[in-house]
Amino acid sequence: MSEHNISDIIATDLNVLFCGINPGYSTAHSGYHFAHPGNRFWRVIHLAGFTHQQLKPEDEHKLLETGCGITMLVERPTVQANQLAAAELREGGQRLMKKVLHYQPKALAILGKDAFKRAFQQSKVEWGAQPTFMGKTQVWVLPNPSGLNRASLAEIVEAYQQLQEAVMKRSD
C-alpha cells in the first residue's frame, strides 16, 4: 500500500516512459510527480524538446499527449532516495520490468545511475542508452533532475536531448 495517491502516467504506444526513483515528501503530499519546487524535471523535459510548453506538476496528465509517461521504481516516500533499501529497489526493478513489458514504450528512461545499478544489480553503468532492452523497449539512464543533483541544468538537458533525438529517429 502506498503512502500517497500518486499514480502512473502511462499508456501503450509511448515514446518514453520516465522512471523516477521514488517520491519525496512534498511530491507525496501534493499528489503529483516531480512536484518539489527545486525539482527540474518539468523544465528539463521542456527544454529538451519533449513538450511544447513547460508543464506544471498538476498538468502531468497532459504529458501523455506528448507520447511520454511517468512511473517510479519505489512508491515509498523519503526525504532522499539514498534512504531506500537495496531490496526495495530490486523489488521495484522487478515491478518496473513487468510494467514495461506490458506497455512497451520505445524507451524507458531511469532517472538516476545509482538507482539503476541497485535496482538491476549492475556494477558499471554509463549515462545514456544502455545495451539493455526490456522486450522492444530500450533502457536509458539519465541524470536525476532533483535539485539535489549537482549537475547543471544544461548538462541534464543535454542528456535528455540525446534521448529525444534517438526516439525521434526511431519513430521515423
The pLDDT tens digits for 50-73 are: 999 999 999 999 999 999 999 999
Contacts of 145 by beta carbon, 8 Å cutoff, 6+ apart: 34, 39, 40, 41, 43, 44, 111, 156
Please list the helix, strand and coil fractions of the chain in percent, rounded to the nearest 5, in that order: 40, 20, 40
Three-state SS for 115? helix
Per-residue pLDDT, averaged over 107-115, amounts to: 94
| Residue at grid coordinates 539514498 | 82
Give me the pLDDT at residue 122, please.
92
What's the rounded Cα separation, in Å, for the pair 119 and 52? 32
Give the pTM: 0.93
- For residue range 72-110, what is the model confidence (pLDDT) as tens digits? 999 887 777 777 888 999 999 999 999 999 999 999 999
CA dihedral 157, 161, 167, 171 (to 10 degrees): 130
* Domain architecture of the chain: domains with CATH: 16-171 (3.40.470.10)
The confidence score (pLDDT) of residue 81 equals 73
More confident residue, 78 or 47: 47
* Integer Cα distance of 55 and 32 in angstroms: 12
What cell numbers appear for 165 in the block? 533525438
Does pLDDT of 38 surpass 50? Answer: yes
> What is residue 4's predicted lDDT score, i.e. its pLDDT?
66
User: pLDDT digits over 138-152, tens only?
Assistant: 999 999 897 677 789
Amino acid identity at 20: G
Asked whether 110 and 74 are in contact (CB, 8 A), the reply is no
Using DSSP's 3-state secondary structure scheme, residue 32 falls into coil
